[in-house]
């Protein structure tokens, strides 16, 4: 059986996808792998580039943007590997990271998912891996305390900002830019929940694996570089609201009705608290006034959508996306 199937979801990221694919071929050795690319109705030259420069990759072309979870499920369903690696197109594989990830997973048969160390382009650390959504975590993230005191465990608990990612450990959630998933665990728990259009799907998946008795592990031995948000920044206002909406969807699915209602109030507080902050910034920061007004508009829109439609009002559905 093939060692690993690498599934990449693309939406209008032609140039960085090329770099990602090149890094896979250059930095992956001594294992048998396949690459499956699911294109979510890109309008750039991504598909032509894949066909001409990487014909060995398996390409699935969607005629509509189906979202991250649904597109990954398409790739997983045809994958032949013992493991499936969900890899973002805006990543660069470093130092045989995929091979190291497979070796680590083989040594830990109780792990459903393995994550790796993720670096920014300047080689500083990205705070990947985080805790499951909870009322306490929403209270902390709604305030600015996690930004003011990132090294204090209480305030930085949701994103684990106090941890330098230099040791192996069990975590709640591995970030979706690099998720190495055991085929056996997928067969038991099932595919990603396609109700999560973008954001939250990896959190929901990790939660379901843990509920089934599997572990979610992190290894610092494997490293990748992650540009971050190259697809989502093309629809930045919607994605800013989508992130909060996905958290509420997770809480609605896995927590009590009372917790969900309280979570909606806390997300509303998150938006309300940021309105005066960005309004003041738009006045005093003339050089970035356009950006400040954009953020202000996002949070005002979030208040309106959450008030009128609840958590679902913040979420994009696949039927809402444009091809």
Looking at 3.40.50.720, 3.90.1150.10, 3.40.1350.10, 3.90.550.10, the CATH number of the domain 2-129+165-226 comes to: 3.90.550.10
Looking at the chain, the whole-number percentage of residues with pLDDT higher than 70 is 94
Identify the CA nearest to 133 among candidates 318, 11, 226, 262. Answer: 262
* Per-residue pLDDT, 92: 97
For residue 199, give the 3-state DSSP assignment: coil
Looking at the chain, the whole-number percentage of residues with pLDDT higher than 90 is 81
Asked if pLDDT for residue 310 goes beyond 90, the answer is no
Of 144-153, 217-226, 255-264, which range is least confident? 144-153
What is the model's pTM? Answer: 0.90
* Per-residue pLDDT, 236: 59
Asked if pLDDT for residue 296 goes beyond 50, the answer is yes
According to DSSP, residue 127 is labeled -
Under 8 Å between Cβ of 245 and 302: no
Distances (CA, A) of 236 to 30, 82, 133, 167, 293: 39, 36, 22, 33, 13
Question: Residue 77: pLDDT band by 50, 70, 90 thresholds?
Answer: very high
Under 8 Å between Cβ of 89 and 10: yes
Element (H, E) at 91: strand 91-94
Asked if pLDDT for residue 25 goes beyond 70, the answer is yes
Q: Which residue has the higher pLDDT, 200 or 188?
A: 188
With the CA atoms of 213, 128, 138 and 151 taken in that order, what torsion angle do they form, in degrees rounded to the nearest 10? 120
Residues 6+ apart with CB under 8 A from 220: 116, 117, 165, 166, 167, 168
Asked if pLDDT for residue 208 goes beyond 50, the answer is yes
* Per-residue pLDDT, 288: 92
Average pLDDT estimate for 43-71: 96
Q: Domain ranges in the chain?
A: 2-129+165-226, 232-320
Average pLDDT estimate for 208-217: 98
- Mean predicted lDDT score pLDDT of the chain: 92
* Per-residue pLDDT, 144: 76
Name the residue with tokens 């953020």: 295
* Per-residue pLDDT, 316: 65
* Per-residue pLDDT, 99: 98
Q: How far apart are CA 290 and CA 285, in angstroms?
A: 10
Q: Which of left, alpha, beta for 239 (phi over 0: left; psi -120 to 50: alpha)?
A: alpha
* Per-residue pLDDT, 234: 43
Average pLDDT estimate for 64-84: 96
Average pLDDT estimate for 131-147: 88
Q: How far apart are CA 262 and CA 255, in angstroms?
A: 11
Cα atoms in the Cβ-side hemisphere of radius 13 Å centred on 170: 12
Q: Which residue has the higher pLDDT, 2 or 1?
A: 2
Question: Residue 102: pLDDT band by 50, 70, 90 thresholds?
Answer: very high
Rg (CA), the chain: 20
* Per-residue pLDDT, 317: 58
pLDDT digits (tens, 9 = 90+) for 147-185: 888 889 999 999 999 999 999 999 999 999 999 999 999
* Per-residue pLDDT, 48: 97
Question: Residue 235: pLDDT band by 50, 70, 90 thresholds?
Answer: very low
pLDDT digits (tens, 9 = 90+) for 258-295: 999 999 999 999 999 999 999 999 999 989 999 999 99
Under 8 Å between Cβ of 212 and 186: no
């Amino acid at each position: 059986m093939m060692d690993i199937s690498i599934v990449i979801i693309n939406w209008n990221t032609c140039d960085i996808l090329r770099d990602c694919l090149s890094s896979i071929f250059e930095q992956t050795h001594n294992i048998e792998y396949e690459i499956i690319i699911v294109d979510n109705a890109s309008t750039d030259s991504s598909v032509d580039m894949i066909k001409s420069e990487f014909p060995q990759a398996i390409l699935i072309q969607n005629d509509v943007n189906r979202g991250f979870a649904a597109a990954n499920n398409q790739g997983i369903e045809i994958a032949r590997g013992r493991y499936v690696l969900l890899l973002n197109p805006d990543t660069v594989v470093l130092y045989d990271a995929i091979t190291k990830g497979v070796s680590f997973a083989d040594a830990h048969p109780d792990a459903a998912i393995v994550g790796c160390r993720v670096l920014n382009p300047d080689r500083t650390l990205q705070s990947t891996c985080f805790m499951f959504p909870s009322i306490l975590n929403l209270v902390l993230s709604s305030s600015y305390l996690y930004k003011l005191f990132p090294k204090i465990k209480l305030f930085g608990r949701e994103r684990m900002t106090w941890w330098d990612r230099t040791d192996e450990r069990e975590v709640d959630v591995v970030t979706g830019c690099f998720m190495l998933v055991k085929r056996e665990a997928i067969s038991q728990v099932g595919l990603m929940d396609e109700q999560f259009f973008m954001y939250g799907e990896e959190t929901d998946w990790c939660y379901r694996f843990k509920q089934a008795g599997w572990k979610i592990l992190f290894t610092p031995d494997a490293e990748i570089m992650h540009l971050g948000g190259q697809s989502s920044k093309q629809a930045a206002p919607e994605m800013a609201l989508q992130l909060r909406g996905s958290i509420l969807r997770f809480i609605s699915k896995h927590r009590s009705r009372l917790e969900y209602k309280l979570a909606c109030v806390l997300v509303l507080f998150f938006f309300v608290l940021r309105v005066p902050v960005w309004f003041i910034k738009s006045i005093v920061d003339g050089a970035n006034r356009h950006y400040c007004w954009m953020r202000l508009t996002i949070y005002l829109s979030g208040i309106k959508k959450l008030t009128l439609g609840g958590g679902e009002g913040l979420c994009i559905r696949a039927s809402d996306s444009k091809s």
